[in-house]
Amino acid sequence: MSTKHRTLPALEEDYQVLSDTVREFADEVVAPVSAELDAKHEFPYEIVAQMGEMGLFGLPFPEEFGGMGGDYFALALALEQLGRVNQSVAITLEAGVSLGAMPLLKFGTQEQKEAWLPDLVAGRHLAGFGLTEPGAGSDAGGTQTTAVLEDGQWRINGAKEFITNSGTDITSLVTVTAVTGTVEGRTGADGKPAKEISTILVPAGTEGFSVAKAYDKVGWNSSDTHALHFSDVRVPEENLLGTRGRGFANFLEILDEGRIAIAALATGAAQGCVDESIAYAKQRTSFGQRIGEFQAVSFKIARMQARAHAARLAYYEAAQKMLAGKPFKTEAAMAKLIAGEAAMDNARDATQVFGGYGFMNETLVARHYRDSKILEVGEGTTEVQLMLIARELGL
C-alpha cells in the first residue's frame, strides 16, 4: 500500500499532472500483477502496450516521429513513479527510451529516424544497445566485437552480454558497438594503436545474429536481458549510426543522460520502500502496540525518507542543468550514486521493518531488495560514478 509523497518538490502543472497520471497507472495497473510477473519471469507485454498508448515511450521525442514533444525530465518523473512498484517495468521503459531509441534521435540520419523511430516511440517495438561484452564493460578499450566494411556491407563478428530489451517478441533492432579500425596517432593503455569504435544498427532476425537464452537473474525478473552473438552478420553500410569512430563517445553522451533516468528509477524504488514501511508500521502490532510507535522503527523509516528526498533533489538538479544546456555530467554521476545507494539501503531497512514477511517474494520490499542491487552496477558502477566525481574535483 502506498502513501502520498510528503517531500516531493513543487512541480510545474504539466509535470505534476504527468507524475500523478503515471502514479495512478502504477498503483492500479502495474502493482496488482507485479508479484505474478516476477514469479513467472514473464515479460510485461500488456503493460508495455498500455505504456505505449499513454505515450510514455514517446515522452522526450518530437511530434515529427510520433512523440509527445516533452523532455527528459518528464521521462524521469514517469520512471520514478513506475520504479516505486515495479523496477522491471521501469527499466523496460528506461532502456527502451534512453538506450534504444534516443541514440537514433541524436545520431541517426533522417532516413534512419523515419524508418525506426515511429514504432519505437509508440512502444510497438523495442530496441537494445549492445555495448557490454564478456571482457569489456566500463572499459571500452576491451571491446572485441569487430565490423569490417566489405563491398558496401558491414561484416560483424563478436558477442555482447547483459543487453536489455534485446530478445522480446517486439524487439526490432540492436545498436552494436564494434571496432571498425584504429585511430591514427593514438595509443591505448596497452601501448597498441587505439581502437576506432563505431555503432551499427543490426535489425532483429538478421542472418548470423542470434539471441541467447534469457539470463536467470537475481532481480528484475520481468525485464528482458540476453547475451547476443554475431557470426558474419552483414548489414548495409548505411546502417552506421552517427560518424564512424564516434561510437563510444556518442554512447558516453547517452550514458550521461541515462544516469539521470536510472537515478529517477532508483529514487522511486527508495520511495516505494518508505511507503510500504509506513503502511506496515501503522498496522503491524507487537508487544501490544503498533511497531511504528517504537523509536527504533520510526527512526529507521525517517532515515529512509531522508535518503529518498536527497535522491530526488539530486536527480532534479541534474535534469534541470541538462535541460538548460549546462554541463551536467558530474551532477548526473552524483544523482546516480546517491539514488542507487538510497534504493539499496532503503530496501535493506524496509526488509528489516517487515521482519520475516520481508523475506517473502510476494512482498514488494522483498522484490526491491533483490532488484535494487543492480542500480549500483548498471549504466556505470558506483565506482565509475566516484571516478567521474573525483576527476571533477581535480583528483
Amino acid residing at 223: S
Collapsing DSSP states into helix, strand and coil, what is residue 312? helix
How is 59-108 classified by DSSP, letter by letter? TTS-GGGT--S--HHHHHHHHHHHHHH-HHHHHHHHIIIIIIIHHHHHH-
From 332, 312, 310, select the one nearest 323 (Cα to Cα).
332
The alpha carbon of 311 is separated from its chain's Cα centroid by a whole number of angstroms, namely: 16
Beta bridge partners of 203: 173
Active-site position among 376, 379, 383, 392: 379
Instruction: Let me know if 379 is a catalytic residue.
Output: yes
Distance CA 145, CA 179 (A): 6
Q: Where are the beta strands (DSSP E) in the chain?
A: 126-130, 146-150, 153-164, 171-187, 193-203, 209-211, 225-236, 240-241, 285-286, 289-290
Extract the C-alpha cell encoding 199: 555503432
Residues known to be catalytic: 379
